[in-house]
Amino acid sequence: MTPMNGAEAFVKMLQLNGVKHIFGLCGDTSLPFYDALARMDHGMDHVLTRDERSAAYMADAYARVTGKVGVCEGPSGGGATYLLPGLVEANESSVPVLGITSDVSVTSRGRYPLTELDQQSLYRPLTKWNTTIDLASQIPGAIRSAFRAMTTGTPGAAHICLPYDVQKNPADPADIWAQPEHSHYPAMRTVAAAEDIDRAADRLVGARAPVIICGGGVVQSGASAELETLAMALNAVVCTTVSGKGSLADTHPLNAGVVGSNGGVMATRDVVKQADVVLFVACRAGSTTTEHWRFPEPSTTILHLDVDPMVVGANYATDVGMVGDAKLSLAALNQAVAQRLPHRRSDVVDGRELVSRARAVKFGMFDELARSTDMPIKPERVVDALNRLLPPEAIIVADPGTPCPYFSAYFNAPQAGRHFITNRAHGALGFAMAAGVGAQYGRPNATVVSVMGDGSFGFTCGELETIARRKVPLKMVVFSNSVYGWIKASQKAGYDERYFSVDFSRTDHARVAEAFGIKAFRVEAPADLDSALKAALAYDGPALVDVVAQPLQDAAAPVSQWMG
């Protein structure tokens, strides 16, 4: 066999695990790894970024739209600390992202070398799996373990620390192999126990007004068809978390939309309040979804299906808990429900009618604001325009702040699946632009639109160079309102309008984008919005639309703490 060093073994192991794209940033301790990437025939594309955080966010969105592991990398020291925000976001969002950080040589440890850092301790509490490699012979096994951990059970992030000298030491070619099932997720699925499925079917068929609340695991599992079958059989309302958006088509007659304190409205809250049985599917039933465990009320009969047994019963007294993959377990639940439907009670609430009424109220308010000709432009008008102008396969990537609640509540994808991405675990600014790049690489034929506030733009605008250099046809929309709007709106609602250190000066984001070589448009008048968005969407390359928008503290955002 041809001799190889540790860096070459690492590259080969990534190739065997089906990796096609690596997002990252160079550094001294990564030189052998980069040299191996340069010399070897591996079929992988390395996307050089301008910030390690961006590399991790790109890998995150790439994983969400492809069903494969996202891979990012950075050097020792500062690079290792910058990569961390993206890995913890992916891990808490159950997204498989492998973070690779190079490190000082093993033989230099404890001798005060530049950039020395205990990376394994740093990453341990924030990833699902994490190791530091001390010998080149450990590389194949470490990568196999990382991919196994990331893709099985509850998906999550992994981290591998790769010291400089280990990359140059000899490795054993005989140990270079990969387990094919671990190249995608969810891998090696399990189904919930039959007795639990039967008990849940009894409760659902016996319910007068069942409601199904879906988390992100439904989309990740590819369980939309099984979910639709169950909802149609029961004529049951389906609601989603922000991450679960896409479990059903947003326009489905049984989909009431996002519920909770971010993206939910009073009409969707009322749908949950009237339920006598709530089935949580691949959903943690956390504080945002349930408005701090108030809706559903604790007295409601709760059924809970999740691949993670620690989630079931964590926040609600659960009548029936089921542990298993959403797709397989919903398929089994459908069979059990079908057997019991002939004996169903006669006074069941009409789920279609419930959804129709709730959506009429929700979009009635929205449509009125979307038609407004007031200046600055209302956020509703931007969402409405994109709903009308985007092709069906489009993907929206939204930052926290202004975009998240508005697009969670009102963006209407006409089909199920991953067409909406936001970072709901830790909500860091600077996500959408970088994540949009990852989504575009993952689905090169889709129209991808990153929507962000101007605060978020300031975190990540350096990646405009990456977008221009790589000719990524990403479309970007900036809500320009000169404020950290979420915080100012919270100061208005809860602190008697004592505004402190939340306002900043306005930037001409279109001119900034043009300086990087990006086609850009600036919109101040509502009447000009459609034409600018149409031109950006039709442009054969990256484009940015800078919208002078209503500040969030003055807007009617679908956020319960501001609505009362």
- 359 within a domain of the structure (yes/no): no
- 206 within a domain of the structure (yes/no): yes
Residue 309 tokens read as 């047994």
The answer to whether residues 216 and 348 belong to one domain is: yes
pLDDT the model gives residue 560: 84
First to last CA, the chain: 69
pLDDT the model gives residue 563: 73
The answer to whether residues 220 and 177 belong to one domain is: no
Kindly report whether the peptide bond that precedes residue 405 is cis, defined as omega within 30 degrees of 0.
no
Q: Which of 294, 327, 353 is the last residue of a domain?
A: 353
The answer to whether residues 47 and 126 belong to one domain is: yes
Rounded CA-CA distance 491/499 in Å is 6
The answer to whether residues 229 and 109 belong to one domain is: no
Closest by CA position to 9, among listed 159, 141, 151 = 141
The answer to whether residues 57 and 122 belong to one domain is: yes
- 124 within a domain of the structure (yes/no): yes
The answer to whether residues 428 and 486 belong to one domain is: yes
Q: What is the largest CA-CA distance in the chain?
A: 77
What is the number of residues in the chain?
Answer: 564
- 361 within a domain of the structure (yes/no): no
511-556: pLDDT as tens digits = 999 999 999 999 999 999 999 999 999 999 999 999 999 999 999 9
The answer to whether residues 27 and 163 belong to one domain is: yes
Q: Which range of residues forms the domain containing residue 244? A: 194-353
61-82: pLDDT as tens digits = 999 999 999 999 999 999 999 9
- 360 within a domain of the structure (yes/no): no
**Alpha-carbon torsion 531, 537, 541, 542, what sign?**
positive
Instruction: Name residues of the chain where pLDDT drops below 70.
Output: 564
Closest by CA position to 441, among listed 54, 51, 7 = 54
pLDDT the model gives residue 547: 98
The answer to whether residues 440 and 534 belong to one domain is: yes
The answer to whether residues 442 and 391 belong to one domain is: yes
Q: What is the CATH number of the domain that holds 446?
A: 3.40.50.970
Q: Which of 183, 210, 231 is the last residue of a domain?
A: 183
The answer to whether residues 413 and 462 belong to one domain is: yes
pLDDT the model gives residue 562: 82
- 47 within a domain of the structure (yes/no): yes
Q: Is 539 exposed, middle or buried (0-12, 13-18, 19+ CB in 10 A)?
A: middle
- Which DSSP letter does residue 553 get? G
pLDDT the model gives residue 564: 55
Q: What is the CATH number of the domain that holds 320?
A: 3.40.50.1220
The domain total for the chain is 3
Q: Which of 140, 163, 183 is the last residue of a domain?
A: 183
DSSP character string of 41-102? ----EEEE-S-HHHHHHHHHHHHHHHSB-EEEEE-STHHHHHHHHHHHHHHHTT--EEEEEE
- 558 within a domain of the structure (yes/no): yes
3-class DSSP state of 207? coil
The answer to whether residues 378 and 346 belong to one domain is: no
Measured in degrees and rounded to the nearest 5, phi and psi for residue 239 equal -120, 160
- Which DSSP letter does residue 184 get? B
The answer to whether residues 391 and 501 belong to one domain is: yes
Q: Is 70 exposed, middle or buried (0-12, 13-18, 19+ CB in 10 A)?
A: buried
